[in-house]
Chain A
Amino acid sequence: MATAAKYIGKPMKRKEDPRLIQGLAHYVDDIRLPGMLYMAVVRSPYAHAKIRSIEGSKAKSAPGVVAVLTSEDLSGKIGPIPCAAQIPDMKAALRLPLASDKVRFVGEPVAVIAATDRYSARDAVDLVEVEYDSLPAVVDPEKAIAKGAPKIYDDFEDNVAYRWELEGGDLAGAFKNADKIVRQRMANQRLIPVPMECRGIVADYDPGEPKLRVWTSTQIPHLARTQIGAMLGINENSVHLIAPEVGGGFGSKLNVYAEEALCSYLAIHTGKPVKWVESRRENFQATIHGRDYICYGELGMKRDGTILGARFKIIADLGAYYQLLTPLIPTLTGLMLCGSYKIPAVRVEIIGALTNKMATDAYRGAGRPEATYFIERIVDVAAAEVKKDPLEIRRKNFPKPKDFPYATPTGLIYDTANYQGCLEAAEKKSGYAKLRRAQTEARKKGRLVGIGVSSYVEICAMGPSSAMPAGGWESGTVRIEPTGKVKVLTGSSPHGQGQETSFAQIAADVLGLTPEDILVVHGDTDQVPYGIGTFGSRATAVGGTAMYKALEKLRDKLAKIAGHILEVDPSRLTFLDRKIVSTGDRKSINFSDVVTAAYVAKTLPPGVEPGLEATTFFEPTNFTFPFGTHICEVEIDRDTGEVKLLKYVAVDDCGNVINPLLVDGQIHGGIVQSVGQVLFEEAVYDSEGQLLSGELTDYALPRAADIPRIETARTVTPTPVNPMGVKGVGEAGTIGATPCIVNAVVDALSPFGVTHVDLPIKRERIWRIIQQNTSGPGSKGAAKSRGAR
């Protein structure tokens, strides 16, 4: 049965946009309920302290204040913040929503206030008197896990959250046969996700039904509903959770937060709707952070550049308490450390370190940008060591397309790839040979020009449930209403990715309609069957597939009904332009007439139920593995150390593309977040655990003037994991770009003998390297400026 391909692949304008460009969308803070109160949170100013006393009476009697609650008031009433990750022998670094005897990071909630307006609530925060006995803060993760470090948890023997190991192939043999072993210490610094919309929640409790209604800025409406219900001891089917318009997440809203439970509790406690929206400062302190690893990498290779084996030891700074997936993220790094290379032997050791900081968790890429950074960086170090061009060493070690499905020594099976074709496309598009010639000329004039390459593969479309902590399937329901319009209910939960459009494109093609006929509904747990949510670049590959299979079920049913009416074999029917047409003869029937027949139910074939609704819960058989090659050109200002990004070329392969506009948007956005990581951003805690980069004034996000025009191109290597052959692309840009830019900076400094520069690449660091290598007494520093071991 043929379907049209009128809309899939087209750069359609988005259906989401009219409400967004007119200011008519409703984010959490736009929701107003009668009698609504506002919640404010009293937070610890100390990174590590015992709580001696909390006195709320002054706050309780302040104007407008309705309630002040501490952990004592909540004793036994709200369960701990959930963590879905299970690592063998991991310590249970969990916490209750409000601190009781101890605080372990700056920003940890200690009390909550409900007041009649947000200003009164904020005023009352200053009136809650908390007495702390401060304790030494543990901030450096390597020091945290060393002997004698102050213990963050009295019950734990040390600050090691867990140890995780993975080994494949014969590493000892590999290193024995190696001509060279390159060693490099690499840091991947802590970042703050900073979606433009801060977290927020409105909770409303109806004791009559009973029903707890929650609007929350989340990426995981169903999972959050289950967890909030569990934390509060409310039956899950008495909780209705809605993700309204969500202003970005990047993984930071793939979580269940203390404030969501606290706000819901306050709604029950006060009998009034309660709203909480965090300030940007709270977003910095108390929304999950990303990255923050130190890696000791070793790569063994032959003189001709063939990689024989790799070993990585990673210390992951997890913060003080687990959020939903905190311990899991570094293990995703471990799985991807072979990158896009045939590495026969690998050994990975990961130590999760507890420190007095906010929890790390999934942040765009969730472990895979880190893996790609470490392997791409060390491969470049190796390339320089054996004096091979970075493109050449990559080509030498890529598996060939016919080697796929390709089993990695880390236990993954990469689906499909064409790393060579992609690299070649990037080489051509960037004019690589020309760039190198221009670089030679520039160097003669003393200019510091660098060219960077990164070839990445990443694991996404999360994923087979056997490998996921709480299910990796996704749901899709398609309902065709009696008047012929289509409603899609998806467990995916977009927050900018555009599935209201891309899913409509898919549905239109399968049913022979137009995208205007299709309404995509998401985020409402009363409307949408259970779903896992949007993260891990899974919405189209998993959620879209669930919808696609439901569409096929309905299309088959419609074909049966139409075939019955037309007296034609259903397999000969095509859905096109709102008609169902029999190929070969001239019989056809309007789509709407067949829909009517399904509801009026007078002409149904035997065995066919009335109505038109189908649901699929799609369980993927594998992850998918998008890949790409990025090439960029930078120039360093010798006087200021500023790195200017002159050219950026990204060739990415995410399999088949539903809407190229949306894919480009994801690539641009992802790359710019990497520019942020490399050149601008760093979450900084001082030695006492104070978050110094605590507002946008101190944490530099890339702005429009900081970014060059990004040139994008695609290769298309579909995946067999799902019928549409789509892989996922939401995180790919961020995964590929960080090492590309760092490699370019190192290349720019390579005439000084520099082989590595740690993240973040701030101007001062570069300026010092240049000074050390050009001034008289400092030029002995050429050896010093090699990356630290």
Chain B
Amino acid sequence: MAVEATRIRVRVNGKDRESAVEPRLLLVHYLRDTLGLTGTHIGCETSVCGACTVLLDGKAVKSCTMLAVQANGAEITTIEGLAATEDSAGSKGDAGCVCGLHPVQEAFWEKHGLQCGFCTPGMILAAAAFLGENPNPSETEIRHAISGNLCRCTGYQHIVDAVQHAAKKMASVRAR
């Protein structure tokens, strides 16, 4: 490389990582190509489609519009690491939760909230982050919240059903 590499430290899916990266390396390429976490997808280069959505310090961000160097010191959750996060660990396998899946993942499965699956990781993470902030949303609020994630297959209806289903499930677990 002609450009000097920059050292970054990130915690990805609970694992500490240290890498030397080109300053212009996109976070999404760092996750996919350097770390081999290919569950996060790339659907555009203009930050519109949301397929690249990951959680960065708990917030849903579009990793195609961040540089890896900007993520230095952050805690990132990708789709591969979602199931192991607090929510599903907290449900401890009951309340109808299939072991090893986050309630939002489970809900997408239950409600046929995906067809080709390409937008799905980003959609699930956006939904999970949203439910963290708004655990009892209306349909309008759900539709607005996922408007940063494009889906060409489903027409969104079963996705909305999935988010509603996840909200109910997560509320019932919290109620225990």
Listed in ascending order, the chain A residues whose CB lies under 8 Å from chain B are 11, 13-14, 16-27, 29-30, 32, 63, 118-119, 194-198, 245-248, 250, 277, 279-281, 495-498, 661-662, 664-665, 667-673, 695-697, 701, 703-707, 709-710, 733
Contact = CB atoms under 8 A, between A and B. Distances in A.
Given A14-B112, A196-B116, A247-B41, A22 B155 contact: no
A382 B135 CA distance: 51
A709 B142 CA distance: 13
A196 B158 contact: no
B98 to A, nearest CB: 9
A17 B42 CA distance: 19
Given A21-B117, A22-B80, 14 more contacts: A20-B120, A24-B39, A27-B38, A29-B32, A32-B36, A198-B42, A246-B116, A247-B117, A248-B153, A669-B155, A670-B155, A695-B44, A695-B45, A703-B143
Nearest to B160: A704
Contacts of A280: 43-46, 49
B170 interface: no
A696 B109 contact: no
Contacts of A703: 143, 146-147, 150, 156
B37 interface: yes
15 contacts: A23-B79, A29-B41, A29-B42, A119-B24, A195-B118, A197-B41, A198-B43, A497-B115, A665-B154, A668-B155, A673-B152, A696-B150, A697-B46, A707-B155, A709-B157
A23 B150 contact: no
What are the nearest 4 A-B pairs in CB distance? A23-B39, A247-B118, A20-B117, A668-B155
B116 A496 contact: yes
A671 to B, nearest CB: 6
B101 to A, nearest CB: 7
A695 B45 CA distance: 8
A669 B115 contact: yes
A196 B150 contact: yes
B76 interface: no
A497 B153 CA distance: 9
A13 B155 contact: no
Contact of B124 (A21, A497, A697): A21
Contacts of A17: 108-109, 114, 117
B8 interface: no
A668 B158 contact: yes
Nearest to A198: B43
Contacts of B101: 21-22
A705 B143 contact: yes
A701 B49 CA distance: 9
A717 to B, nearest CB: 24
A706 B150 CA distance: 11
A465 B40 CA distance: 41
B50 to A, nearest CB: 9
Interface string B6-34: 00000000000000001011000100110
Interface in B121-176: 121, 124, 139-140, 142-144, 146-147, 149-160
Nearest to B146: A704
Contacts of B24: 119
A248 B152 contact: yes
B159 A704 contact: yes
A665 B115 contact: yes
B147 A705 contact: yes
A194 B44 CA distance: 10
Contacts of A671: 155
B63 interface: no
A247 B46 contact: no
Given A22-B105, A196-B150, A705-B144, A119 B22 contact: yes
B66 interface: no
Contacts of A695: 44-46, 48
B45 A23 contact: no
Contact of A672 (B116, B120, B156): B156
A237 B101 CA distance: 42
Nearest to A675: B155
Contacts of A16: 117
A76 to B, nearest CB: 35
A31 to B, nearest CB: 9
Nearest to A495: B116
Nearest to B125: A23
Given A14-B109, A21-B114, A704 B42 contact: no
B118 A27 contact: yes
A16 B113 CA distance: 12
Nearest to A249: B116
Given A20-B117, A196-B51, A63 B2 contact: yes
B91 interface: no
Contacts of A26: 38
A664 B158 contact: yes
B119 to A, nearest CB: 5
A151 B120 CA distance: 46
A672 B157 CA distance: 10
A32 B49 CA distance: 24
Contacts of A245: 116-117
Contacts of A672: 155-156
Contacts of A707: 143, 155-157
B83 A22 contact: yes
Nearest to B79: A23
Contacts of A250: 152
A70 B117 CA distance: 36
Given A13-B112, A696-B49, A709-B139, A21 B120 contact: yes
A248 B118 contact: yes
A18 B115 contact: no
B64 to A, nearest CB: 10
Interface string B81-120: 0010000000000000000010001001110101111111
Contacts of A246: 116
Nearest to B107: A21
Given A672-B156, A703-B147, A195 B114 contact: no
Contacts of B160: 704, 709
A279 B24 CA distance: 17
Nearest to B98: A18
Contacts of A661: 112, 158
A22 B44 contact: no
Contact of B114 (A11, A20, A710): A20
A495 B152 CA distance: 12
B159 A23 contact: no
Nearest to B148: A703
Nearest to A11: B112
Contacts of B124: 21
Most buried by A among B1, B116, B151: B116
Nearest to A694: B46
Nearest to A662: B112
A707 B150 CA distance: 12
Nearest to B162: A21
Contacts of A119: 22, 24-25
Contacts of B115: 248, 496-498, 665, 669
Nearest to B116: A496
A245 B117 CA distance: 9
B99 to A, nearest CB: 12
B146 to A, nearest CB: 5
